[in-house]
Amino acid sequence: MQLRNEEDIVEFIAGLLPKPKKIIEVGVGKLPKIALKLAEKFPEAEIIVTDIDSQIIQQIGQQYPQVKAIKDDITKPNIELYQNADLIYSMRPPPELAPYLLKLAKKVGAPLMIRPLCSETHEIQSILERAKIIHFKRATLILLRQAQDYTRE
């Protein structure tokens, strides 16, 4: 399955993080294309993908050694894994996982970026408190970038 606007998403992340050390994709599923493009663009960075499905993680780990594939459950995350992340992102997560992504990003102090399904953009944005909808070229993204984005006025 093709994710639309892959190049735009990678370009946006590159503009946000010129020299990242650690980027983590949550809920990678069978589609590690963004992570692979990030690994190509930032060969010195640690690119990690996580998923709750052991079989998917095993397949990605075997097929794509340029990314680190780790089994993790976003509802009960291994916090140490996410420490010092320059960015935590998720491609088209179900809205019910947005509160867990927010809680994790807050806990480790990392920016959070979500590429929602178009029909779920506003629903996810409302769950993520002060998130900003970003239209970058052809990609629609939701971004919580700075510490003040995690607090309500």
Q: Spell out the domains of the chain, with CATH numbers in brackets.
A: 6-90+99-143 (3.40.50.150)
- Going from the C-alpha of 64 to that of each of 35, 41, 42, 46, 48, the distances in angstroms are 10, 15, 15, 13, 11
Confidence of residue 151 (pLDDT cuts 50, 70, 90): very low
φ, ψ for residue 54 (rounded to 5)? -60, -40
* Average pLDDT of span 127-139: 79
Tokens describing residue 85:
């992340």
pLDDT at 57 over 60: yes
What is the rounded average pLDDT of the residues 21-48? 95
Give SS3 for 82. helix
Q: Could you read off the pLDDT of 65-102 as tens digits, one per residue?
A: 999 999 999 999 999 999 999 999 999 898 899 899 99
Q: Tell me: pLDDT of 18 over 50.
A: yes
For residue 72, what pLDDT is reported?
Answer: 98
Cα end-to-end distance, the chain, whole Å = 41
DSSP assignments along 89-111, one per residue: EEES--GGGHHHHHHHHHHHT--
Q: Is the pLDDT of residue 41 over 50?
A: yes
**Model pLDDT, residue 129:** 66
Give the DSSP per-residue string, 111-147: -EEEE--GGGHHHHHHHTTT-EEEEETTEEEEEE-SG
